[in-house]
Amino acid sequence: MKFITKMITFAGMAAALISCSDKAAQKDFRYLVDEFADLKIMRYQVPGWDALTLQQKEYVYHLAEAAKYGRDIIWMQNCKDNLEVRKVLENILQNYTGDRTTEEFAQFETYAKRVFFSNGIHHHYAEDKFFPECSQEYFQSLMVAVGDEAKCEKLLPAMFDPAVYPARKDMHADDIIAASAVNFYENVTRAEVEALYKAMADPTDKTPVSYGLNSRVVKGEDGVVYEEVYKVGGLYGPALEKICAELALAAEVAENETQKEYIADLIAYYQSGDLKLWDDFNIKWVNDTLGTVDFVNGFVEDYNDPLGRKATYEGLVNFKDSEASRRAELISDNAQWFEDNSPVDSRFKKEEVKGVTAKVINVATLAGDCYPAAPIGINLPNADWIRREHGSKSVTIANLTSAYTMAAQESPVSMLSEFAWDEAEMEMEKKYGALTNDLHTDLHECLGHGSGKLLPETSPNALGEFSSALEETRADLFGLYYLADPKLVELGILPDMEAYKAQYSSYIRNGIFTQFTRVALGKKNMEAHMQNRKLIADWCYEKGLADNVIEKKVRDGKTYFIVNDHEALRGLFGELLAEVQRIKSEGDYAAGKALVEKYAVDIDQDLHAEVLERYSALGLKPYGGFLNPEIVPVMKNGKAVDYKIEYQESYIDQMLQYGIKYATL
């Protein structure tokens, strides 16, 4: 599971994670490099790089190359025409010799940047298709000018026609499979897909593979429904060959034998498509707690699949920040206490919490579904039975959180001054917001996702298309509930019992109101993390109305949401956590559906229009993504004697370079 960053509301976010030496390095470092549409592009630094050994740097380098060679896969997964569209955009940007100073070319360039950011023609968060502002006739003239005239008939409708691929994932259609543009299914209905996997699954298997995780479901001309498996020699084979080659080079310089073993499992999995090998990899990977360098590489998260079964490709390479990891390690060391004292029914608690490890990391490379938009926290693996029997790894990504902070400081305005009710609320946020936001991420990833258990008869896929939103809701609630627990003060993690109030206030304000700066007026709330925040905030607002726990106030025509009773709000968080855990543990599809559909999807249109108007006046961008630094071998006599970090400055240039170097499909 990935923890997606919330709206950054003040300049001090994550300041606690910035060391003195890092501050010196950041003094002249420009974080914000580009802004367009609703997006900003940032750079991130890689603190601690020079402290790595040559072997560790080489290990990171090859893992990073492996991660980036999967880039074309995510483009193909998001929509079957995406890769062809991208190649047309690259061709125009590289080879168009006409006038590039016109307004229409600027509009084309903005569209290209948006497509690069989203790994396709659909908004990376809102799921709906976005369109070029330039005319279709002008766009066609660009394609003709660079020799792509033959592609116009197919690709122009994909980009300009609202009826073609209207949404990457449509959760409100009669058939959510047929209506969604994601390239996980071809010529099949939801009923046919569900029948296929029902026939595969063994309900008595206590350690099931993740059926369908790495495949595309197709119905042939003969009417037979089957899987096209992602593997070498199969679907996406050329990309996986490149990934395997770099993984093999990485294994040669791995830090320990365990790393070599699970890389071998990962290569074997890519070569065969055998999901049992994916489980073998994850079990060994989750048990490796000794290495400094770590990575994610694979078909991991199922957020983009309407049925919550099929995974997109992602890659992320990182190394541990030992000093910053102390807080996360303290939390994970006490995992059993948190599980035992959870407000959920004892039937749904783990008797023995196994293998919960947590650390703070610095990322060196983002790839696939983590690039350019990246998570700030990750908890893996996702298979419930592996979590139950072997545990999980949780990470908080310090240098990305720091980059958000530093980029915000480059802006003269902030969300907080516009949407907080008074000076007291702003001061509380400035004093405790950075710490409690990071701590909520830690609790969400370290403990939330790993908490609780399914009943023996419950299928891990029982919640279907609502599973992602409900799982993120569960993890967020776990973190919110425990932020106010005296145990955190006792452990020395929080300075006092007032600190948690900063997170409670900002969470409610964001969940009910400010996060919808990310959604176009009139659209529904579709992204799983945004749905979870709205579900929690709206449910608590409704349930606390009688006691005025959360109050809606209007001043000078502007709306504010204020938490009046933080202690009572904690009680509501606990009550909802108990219910969401019950829904997951019992596989109560109907109750889960009812929660999501009532609280998570429909946005109050008056509030939505207001927040968009107020936010627009600030001139901020609601979404952020990152350029990767380049890891460059330093060669002497034909041998790498070092690897240095070079920070890139041009968003377009990096996208075009990647389009050439990592083209595989």
Give the 3-state secondary structure of 579-594: HHHHHHHHCCHHHHHH
389 falls within a domain: yes
Q: Judge whether 304 lies within some domain.
A: no
Report phi then psi at 206, rounded to 5. Answer: -85, -10
Give 643-656 as a DSSP string. EEEE----HHHHHH
Assess if residue 566 is contained within a domain: yes
Is 665 within the bounds of a domain?
Answer: no
pLDDT tens sequence across 592-639: 999 999 999 999 999 999 999 999 999 999 999 999 999 999 999 999
Give the count of domains, the chain. 1
pLDDT at 74 over 50: yes
Give the range among 132-136, 208-212, 329-333 with minimum mean pLDDT: 329-333
Residue 190 maps to a domain: no
In a domain, 616, yes or no: yes
Q: Give me the mean pLDDT over the 295-305 stretch.
A: 97
Measured in whole angstroms, how far is the alpha carbon of residue 536 from the centre of its chain?
Answer: 19
Tens of pLDDT, residue by residue over 379-436, are 999 999 999 999 999 888 999 999 998 998 888 888 899 999 999 999 999 999 988 9
Of the candidate ranges 44-53, 97-106, 209-218, 444-453, the one whose mean pLDDT is the lowest: 444-453
- Does any domain span residue 468? yes
Cβ contact 433:502 at 8 Å: yes
- What are the C-alpha distances in Å from 300 to residues 213, 251, 310, 314, 642? 8, 21, 8, 7, 32
Compute the distance between CA of residue 116 and CA of residue 460 in angstroms, rounded to an integer: 34
pLDDT of residue 8: 39
Tokens of 216: 């595309």
> What does pLDDT average to over the chain?
93
Quote the Cα angle for 395-400-406, to 5°.
145
For residue 5, what pLDDT is reported?
56
Cis bond leading into 412, ω under 30°? no
Question: Which pLDDT band holds residue 3 (cuts at 50, 70, 90)?
Answer: low
pLDDT reported for residue 22: 45
594: CB partners within 8 A, 6+ apart: none
Q: Residue 65: inside a domain, yes or no?
A: no
| pLDDT score recorded for residue 12 | 35
Average pLDDT (85-100) is 98
Q: Quick check: helix, strand or coil at residue 128?
A: strand
Q: State the pLDDT at residue 9.
A: 39
In the predicted model, what is the mean pLDDT of residues 41-63? 98
Residue 182 phi, psi (nearest 5): -55, 145
DSSP track, 431-500 = HHHHHHHHHHHHIIIIIITT-----TT--TTTTGGGHHHHHHHHHHHHHHHHHT-HHHHHTTSSSSTTTH
Please report the pLDDT score of residue 413 as a whole number. 83
Tell me the residue range of the domain where 444 lies. 2-48+321-626
